[in-house]
Amino acid sequence: MKAHYRTAVVETACEPLDIAVGLAESELSDTYVIYESRDGWSIADGVAAEVIVDAGTVRTRALDECHEEPWSGDPLAAVRKFLSQLPIADWAAYGWSAFELSHAIAGLEVGAQTLLHLVIPETEIRLSGSQATLRSLDAAALPGMERALSRIGAKTTAGDAEARRTGLTPLHVDLETGAEDYRRSVASLVAEIRAGGLQKAILSREVPVEAEIDFPAGYRLGRRHNTPARSFLLDMGGLRCFGFSPETVLEVSDDRRVSSQPLAGTRALTGDTDLDRKLQDELLSDPKEVHEHAISVKLAVDELAGLCEPETVVVEEFMSVKERGSVQHLASRVSGRIPEGRCAWDAFAAVFPAITASGVPKLAAYQAIRRHERGDRGPYAGSVLKVTQGGTLDAALVLRSVYAHGGRTWLRAGAGIVGHSQPDRELEETREKLRSVATSVLVRTEGAGTTSSTARPVRAESHS
The active-site residue out of 27, 36, 124, 247 is 247
Distances (CA, A) of 227 to 246, 324, 325, 444: 8, 5, 6, 25
Buried/exposed code over 376-387 (b: 16+ C-beta within 10 A; e: otherwise): bbbbbbbbbbbb
CB–CB of 379/96 below 8 Å? Answer: yes
For residue 288, count other CB atoms closer than 10 A to its CB.
17
Residue 75: name the closest of 58, 59, 61 by CA.
Answer: 58
First-residue to last-residue Cα distance in the chain: 42
E strand segments, 99-145? 114-120, 123-128, 131-136
3-state secondary structure 205-234: EEEEECCCCCHHHHHHHHHHCCCCCEEEEE
Catalytic, 461? Answer no
CB–CB of 178/138 below 8 Å? Answer: no
Length reported for the chain:
464
For residue 175, count other CB atoms closer than 10 A to its CB.
19
- Helices 179-194 and 362-372: crossing angle in degrees, nearest 10, is 140
Residue 342: name the closest of 451, 252, 405, 261 by CA.
Answer: 252
Alpha helices (H) along 306-396: 344-351, 362-372
Residue 351: name the closest of 101, 72, 58, 84 by CA.
Answer: 101
Residues identified as active-site? 247
